[in-house]
Chain A
């Protein structure tokens, strides 16, 4: 079945450092790819997405490009802030066996940003 692999954390950075969180996927066909974020004490929310090869998703200074040739969707941000401290999940959408579209998540990467 489809799966998502992302780098293990935690990742600890100083404010204004460059962030990369690696994500690769295994899938039949070309799924849509997502990054979700979970801030401390809050629910899961979409950060960005890309629905086809070479698409770049972006939001709040974060970017990720759908790379079909390397089956990757790495998350990047040029200058992180303390408020970016959260858990980041790479995910893909796949058609469920009973219809509908379910989400397959990576393991999650916890990011700590120090002032």
Chain B
């Protein structure tokens, strides 16, 4: 079985400050890890993914995520937050890319000007 936990329902950060959205996972096998973002009244949009290789992956809109195997984590980060980053962020996992994605419950990010 595979699962994802996003321990924070809400993250608040001031514009210009760094942001982190946390994610931990549990899989039997090699994890393929993903971040998606959802803006109001829209479907989810792909941000970035980790398959293998460098533990730090870069994605759209200046976001990056760090894969940590020992801590089974895949936290989303951005050096300087923008008000336009305010949205709902979902972490997701697949087992070796051979199973459908299982999503976390989402973390609402609010960037305050």
Chains A and B are bound partners: no
